[in-house]
Structure 1
């Protein structure tokens, strides 16, 4: 089956319907974003019918997305009972932090060995967008910039396996990061820590950069301990 849309010149051009795969991906990303931002809170039951109405998608892509999110550890599917957002576990996040701190330090080390000046310019451009978001208290925007900054370091390291591992850890920890924003000035501290990391990297000071990334992740650990 084919649909048609205007071609911008008064006529119509053929446009294929969205594939089942793209609908499944759309459902996955939208539900995951609601979990990360705690719109769907830890321990909350998920009503599939409400999701269908909210997202305007069919039952099949919603159902498939929830099964994928179960693999990610973000939801728990209870046979004959329904679906629940996986509760926040302090032990789980502390385990992730242990893995992350080792790999983030490796990532910074590799980035300093392999980065070009254009990589540092990309990181600086990301950080330069932070003050405006801080002024607006744009939490989703700040979360996105945090991810972009760390992905930019991963890109500079030129190691796809490491980059994928760190992306996965960041996504799993994102809702914990969201919960720590109740702390006064936490977002400002993150911006300061990011700046210290980049300043050291731009100076090609490996020891200072590794120390800065360690301190940044340790501050996140302490914030989690206070929040949960």
Structure 2
């Protein structure tokens, strides 16, 4: 086979290699992020690339790239001459995140009250029905996933992809605060009731009611955290 023919024969391997590398990076990113979110990697913990690589069964390069992405998102930070740590939770960061959520999620539910389709309302209803069944188990990780699923579906029903992306990142940053506040008695039940109030207003096509319910939900989240931190 001639050299050009060999080159052509080998050409398709490059995209496949890039896809494999990208897949490993995505896996490392999601796994590390999940552990930060549920506080397996707690605020202030040092993260060792070699140990994480062994834990996940993934090479050092995707782990390093995943940590770089998480640093951009503000979930980890580099400490000079010390290494990488999970970014500590500060009261200022909590309050700033909640301020931005309050502004954007209140607008989101107003849009959802006008724009959500019947199928999207059914999806939100289904999520809360599953959450209701999980309340008895008090499985914090499952309830956290359902909370994330509800807010994600709510954001999509506003029919504004830019807003959906922004709210997704804000909610991801809030989830580890959510986990840290779980010791408050009645927390899970209160969240479920607040979500139901938001859904009821959207189903009734009531933007003012939806905004009021969302503001009450986020204000309760803020009060709960201030008692915990």
Question: What is the TM-score normalised by the length of structure 2?
Answer: 0.90
**Alpha-carbon shift at residue 131 of structure 1 (Å):** 2.0
**Superposed CA RMSD:** 1.5
Cα distance change, pair 102–51 in 1 and its aligned pair in 2 (3 A): same
Deviations 1:92-128, CA, capped at 9 Å, x for gaps: 1101111111111111111112111111111000000
2:7 alignment partner in structure 1:
none
2:22 alignment partner in structure 1:
21
- Higher relative helix content: 2
Distance 1:75 1:149 in 2: 26
Deviations 1:53-78, CA, capped at 9 Å, x for gaps: 11111111111111111111111112
Unaligned runs of at least 5 residues, structure 1:
1-14
SS in 2 for 1:77: strand
2:45 alignment partner in structure 1:
44
The equivalences for 1:134-149 within 5 A come to 134-149=135-150
**Alpha-carbon shift at residue 211 of structure 1 (Å):** 0.6
Deviates more, 1:159-168 or 1:144-153: 144-153
The equivalences for 1:1-228 within 5 A come to 19-228=20-229
- Higher relative strand content: 1
Unaligned runs of at least 5 residues, structure 2:
1-15
Structure 1 stretches of 4+ with a deviation exceeding 3 A read 15-18
- Report if the CA contact (8 A) 2:115-2:157 is conserved: yes
**Alpha-carbon shift at residue 193 of structure 1 (Å):** 0.4
- Report if the CA contact (8 A) 2:44-2:86 is conserved: yes
Deviations 1:175-198, CA, capped at 9 Å, x for gaps: 001001111110110001001111
Distance 1:191 1:130 in 2: 7
**Alpha-carbon shift at residue 132 of structure 1 (Å):** 2.1
Question: What is the TM-score normalised by the length of structure 1?
Answer: 0.90
Paired residues, number: 214
